[in-house]
Amino acid sequence: MVLTTLLDPDPCSKELLELLEGFPLALAQAGSFLRETGINIPTYIQNYHLQWERLMSFEESPLVDYEHGSVATTWAVSLNAVKASSEDLVDILRLWAFINNKDLWFGLFEVVTNRLYTGMWPTWLSNIARDTLRFAKAMGLLLRYSMIQARVEPRGSYSIHPVVHRWVLNLEADAQQKREFASLALLLVGHSVPHRTSTSYWTLDQRLLPHADSCSSCIRQSEFKLEQNHFESVAISNLGGFYDDLDKGSQAEEMYVQATWGLEKTFGRDHETTLVIMNNLATSYANNGKQDEAQEIFDRKQRKSVWA
């Protein structure tokens, strides 16, 4: 019925089709919005133009390489309607911007319910992680507006268009907010890494890997520089161990270097926690053929032991 409305020969329908340039995703989003809200096409067109002007006002818009941005613009119109229903949904999307776009599932939030990390998470995320129905309702609303897609396999998993995934980074967030969500993504993924002996390890490792890669990419970018605290440093170290288990030596080394830097800043060079991660870094150096760097760390630890 919605498609019939868009294909109606009246001038407004024709104008909207021209605006959307025939992109299937843009058509789906516009059609879903019209179905869910019941507004007429002229009103939708007015909203579309307002959002277009706003999106193009960003200094570094990710839309310029995607034709005229009709997909992101229809998505922004729908976002305003979703935002009116729940600000939590917007926060979910902001968090999603810092992990992989192809696989979001309820189990990814399981670590949020772990008592070891009580107080580390914002209220909205804790509420989602503790309530399967709340998560399902949130995903259902995003699905109805064609803002995300449900995957056939694995069941219960969702994806978001890669162009839109990039655009979410600009969701009314300043640099500090971006850092906060980058940090939140790191904590979520880093503390979700299961122990190699865990029964869930072999089912989780391949699903977590794309998210780990996204977090690692963020860590490298100065604009998302993390004011690294203890929990973040441990999460980064966990990513190092994760890469080690997957025989990704260079990535493991990179994470251990970053984790060591953070722990030295927080606890000092001679703290037990710092020394444990330094030992992992030394082993990583040795495995990567960097014997001099590895020996330097081992010698330093030995001097510390003798002095003590």
- Model pLDDT for residues 160-200, shown as the tens digit of each residue: 988 778 778 776 567 888 889 999 999 999 999 988 777 77
Q: What per-residue confidence (pLDDT) applies to 85?
A: 82
pLDDT top residue among 259 and 3: 259
Q: Please tell me the distance from the alpha carbon of residue 48 to that of residue 74, in angstroms, as a whole number.
A: 7
Distances (CA, A) of 69 to 10, 12, 100, 102, 172: 24, 20, 22, 21, 18
Q: What per-residue confidence (pLDDT) applies to 55?
A: 58
**Confidence check: pLDDT of 299 > 50:** yes
Residue tagged 């600000």 (tokens) = 87
**pLDDT band at residue 307, thresholds of 50, 70 and 90?**
very low
Tell me: the pLDDT tens digits for 44-61? 788 777 776 665 555 455
The Cβ of residue 153 has, within 10 Å, a number of other Cβ atoms equal to 6
Q: Domains of the chain: which residue ranges?
A: 1-85
205-214 average pLDDT score: 95
Q: What per-residue confidence (pLDDT) applies to 2?
A: 46
The pTM of this model reads 0.82
